Amino acid sequence: MAKKYTRKEFLQSGSIAALALLLSNCNDTPSSEKKAKAQPSPISAADSIGSSETNQSRFACEILEKENPRYEKYRQGFNRRINLWPLAIALPTNTEEVAEAVRYAHHHQLKISVRSGGHSMEGFSSNNDGLLIHLGKMNAVEFVNESTIRVEPGCTLSKLNDVLLPQGRLLPAGSCGSVAIGGLTTGGGYGLFSRQFGLTCDHLMEATMVDGNGKICSTKNDSDLLWALRGGGSGNFGIVTQMIFETKEAPKTMISHHFKAKKLDASRARAILSTWFASTSTLPHACFSAFVLNGSTLNVLITNFEKDNLEVNNCIQQLKEVCDTYSAGNRLPLAQKLKNYYGSEKPVFFRNSSAGFYKDFQHISACIEEVFKEIIQQPGMIFQVNTLGGKIKDSVFQSQSCFAHRDYNYISEIQAYWEQSKMEEPLHRVTQRCLQLLNQEGIKAQYINYCSLEFKDWQSAYYGDQYEKLREIKRKYDHQNYIQHPQSIEV
In a domain, 183, yes or no: no
Answer for the pair 102, 61: CB distance below 8 angstroms, yes or no.
no
The pLDDT value recorded for residue 220 is: 95
pTM above threshold 0.85: yes
List Cβ<8 Å contacts ≥24 apart for 362-368.
Answer: 363/443, 364/438, 364/441, 364/443, 365/270, 365/274, 366/441, 367/437, 367/438, 367/440, 367/441, 368/270, 368/273
Strand 287-294 versus strand 297-304 pairing type:
antiparallel
If phi > 0 it is left, if psi is from -120 to 50 it is alpha, else beta; for residue 231 that is left
| pLDDT at 50 (0 to 100) | 45
What are the E-state strand segments in 404-471? Answer: 410-416
Q: What is the pLDDT of residue 49?
A: 56
The pLDDT value given to residue 54? 28
Q: What pLDDT was estimated at residue 345?
A: 79
Q: What is the pLDDT of residue 344?
A: 77
Closest CA to 161 of 152, 149, 170, 150: 170
Max Cα distance, the chain (Å) = 76
Amino acid (1-letter code) at residue 156: T
Q: Is residue 300 in a domain?
A: yes
Q: How many helices (H) and strands (E) does the chain have?
A: 15, 22
Q: What distance in Å separates the CA atoms of residue 466 and residue 472, rounded to the nearest whole number?
A: 10
Among the listed residues 150, 151, 178, 146, the one whose alpha carbon sits nearest the alpha carbon of residue 14: 178
Total count of residues recorded for the chain = 491
Alpha-carbon distance of 281 to 409, in angstroms, equals 8
Quote the pLDDT of residue 58: 62
Taking the CB of residue 475, how many other CB atoms lie within 10 A of it? 15
Whole-number Å distance between alpha carbons of 172 and 204: 11
Q: Which amino acid is at 223?
A: S
Q: Is residue 108 part of a domain?
A: no
For residue 353, what are the domain limits? 7-15+253-458
Would you say residue 112 lies in a domain?
no
Residue 298 within a domain: yes
Which pLDDT value is given to residue 139? 98
Find residue 289's DSSP bridge partners: 302
Looking at residue 417, the DSSP 8-state letter turns out to be B
The CATH number of the domain holding residue 312 is 3.40.462.20
Does the residue 66 lie in any domain?
no
Report residues of the chain scoring pLDDT below 70.
Answer: 1-58
Is 419 a domain residue?
A: yes
pLDDT at 229: 95
Q: Answer for the pair 361, 280: CB distance below 8 angstroms, yes or no.
A: no
Instruction: Report the distance separating Cα 437 and Cα 335, nearest Å.
Output: 40
Helix (H, G, I), strand (E, B) or coil at 100: helix
Residue 391, domain member (yes or no): yes
352 and 381 in contact (C-beta within 8 Å)? no
Residue 6 has what pLDDT?
40
Domain count of the chain?
1
The CA distance from 271 to 248, in Å, is 38
Sign of CA dihedral 370, 371, 375, 376: negative
